[in-house]
Amino acid sequence: MNPHRKRLMLRAYQDLLKINPDRKYLQAFAICADEAILHNLSAIGIMGIEKPAALVNQAGMLEIMARLALVEKQ
């Protein structure tokens, strides 16, 4: 799935929280994001071990991390 669709899905899960307090979808999303960071973060801190991801994909991952942090804070 491309990064743009992942960000849209995360936004939809955030909106779903407004009507359904079950966080299972956000928790699953967070697990996937953690796995991506664990297994695809280079030594210099960017996504893409073998080949750095495009700048827009880097920004997308930052947005995902920020949104997940915001949900955790709430």
> pTM of the entire structure?
0.81
Burial label for 25, CB within 10 Å (0-12, 13-18, 19+), is middle
pLDDT tens for residues 3-26? 678 888 999 999 999 999 999 999
Asked if residues 52 and 41 have their Cβ atoms less than 8 Å apart, the reply is no
29-57 mean pLDDT? 89
Q: What local confidence, expressed as pLDDT, does residue 7 receive? A: 84
